[in-house]
Amino acid sequence: MKTMLIFGLGYTARAIARRLADDGWHIEATGRAGTLDFADEDGVRAALARADAVLSSVPPAEDVDPVLVRYGANLTGVGWLGYLSSTGVYGDCGGAWVDESAPVVGLGGSGRRAARALADAAWLERDARVLRLPGIYGPDRSAFDRLREGRAHRVDLPGQIFSRIHVEDIARAAHAALSAPPGAYNIADDMPAPQNAVIEEACLISGLPLPPLLAEQDVPPASRAFYAENRRVANGKARRVLGWRPVFADYRAGLRGIWEGEL
């Protein structure tokens, strides 16, 4: 039985862990739902010594990657490395399509974007499979939940486009990447769409009322960074190299799948 050590067993990593476990992998992990304490250096290093593969979903903290800072020296002998990154490394593209050849912004700078870009580059330098992810949604983390909790809103921003990906399609991509060459892979669905369209579809499916249409200046401060970027993420490389296809090819299929799973 092969062993995967996952740093940061959060929402997305749990979906990956379930898929790998179904395929016969033994999973060890840090995080609240994991089997190891990240700060237990002896325990984590022992797990690294017996791991056939390592996946990190831990985001950078300030300007450093916590996993690489503390355990980078112990990754040398691991046969497979993976890292969950973000398509935010491409920055605002004015709604244009971006693939893995697009420049990564933030390198040499400071702040959250620079930290993500530096971590992305550091894992690539270690020959990791870096999965660049857009907006992630799935059961218990979808437009339905935001609508029920009163956190959903529509914004009057014509032409604003985002890419997104269902969590189970990320799990499938990570599984496929186990036999793929190192490098960056965009893992996004086939239909970038305005956030308003997603909210409206969720209301149509569920019968929940539409939230009001806000002017840009009325967007809650916590959401403003989300609406500051506009891009379409191309998934052609993942299709060609990983042999991966999103089962939930667009937000409509993804939302329907979530809703039907809740019934």
- What single string gives the DSSP state of each residue in the chain? --EEEEE---HHHHHHHHHHHHTT-EEEEBSTTSSB-TT-HHHHHHHHHH-SEEEE-PPPBTTB-HHHHHHGGG-TT-SEEEEEEEGGGG---TT-EE-TTSPPP-TTS-SHHHHHHHHHHHHHHTT-EEEEE-EEEBTTBSHHHHHHTT---EE--TT--B-EEEHHHHHHHHHHHTTS-SEEEE---S--B-HHHHHHHHHHHH-PPPPPEEPGGGS-GGGHHHHT---EE--HHIIIII----SS-SHHHHHHHHHHHH-
Q: Per-residue confidence of the chain (263 residues) as pLDDT tens digits?
A: 899 999 999 999 999 999 999 999 999 999 988 999 999 999 999 999 999 999 999 999 877 899 999 999 999 989 999 999 999 999 989 999 999 999 998 665 556 778 899 999 999 999 999 999 999 999 999 999 999 999 998 999 888 999 999 999 999 999 999 999 999 999 999 999 999 999 999 999 999 999 999 888 888 887 777 788 899 999 999 999 999 999 999 999 999 999 999 76
Determine if the pTM surpasses 0.85: yes
Cα gap 190→248, rounded to integer Å = 9
- Which residue carries 């809103």 as its tokens? 153
Residue 4's pLDDT is what?
A: 98
Q: Report pLDDT for 203.
A: 98
By DSSP bridging, strand 183-186 and strand 3-7 are unpaired
Q: Are 186 and 132 in contact (CB under 8 A)?
A: yes
Cβ count near 111 (within 10 Å)? 10
Q: What is the pLDDT of residue 263?
A: 60
